[in-house]
């Protein structure tokens, strides 16, 4: 049995993990130009989502934020919707 209640939740968790890793990486571990390209790619995917898809992802992110116990990840989750265009 999956720990995720839906495919959206599983993919949102993977997306958050990936973007948090990229945003947290320093120059020694990741080329910053590559990091920007990757994060721009995520934002472009979110931009192409329908309003209902963005709303669904926003809801999952809010639920993830409420359940998060790691302070740094919780702050990242709080900023995620604005940073990746979910609120637009």
pLDDT in tens, 37-62: 999 999 899 999 999 999 999 999 99
Within a domain: 88? no
Count of domains for the chain: 1
Within a domain: 2? no
Q: Structural domain of residue 69, as residue ranges?
A: 7-22+30-83
Res 14 pLDDT > 90:
yes
Within a domain: 77? yes
Interatomic CA distance for residues 66 and 59, integer angstroms: 11
Within a domain: 58? yes
pTM given for the model: 0.84
Within a domain: 17? yes
> In this predicted structure, what is the pLDDT of residue 21?
92
Within a domain: 50? yes
């Amino acid at each position: 049995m999956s720990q995720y209640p839906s495919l959206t939740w599983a993919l949102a968790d993977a997306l958050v993990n990936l973007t948090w890793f990229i945003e947290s990486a320093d120059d020694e571990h990741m080329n910053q130009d590559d990091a920007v390209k990757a994060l721009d790619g995520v934002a472009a995917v979110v931009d192409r989502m329908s309003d209902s898809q963005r709303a669904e992802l926003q809801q999952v992110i809010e639920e993830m934020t409420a359940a998060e116990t790691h302070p740094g990840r919780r702050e990242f989750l709080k900023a995620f919707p604005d940073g990746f265009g979910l609120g637009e």
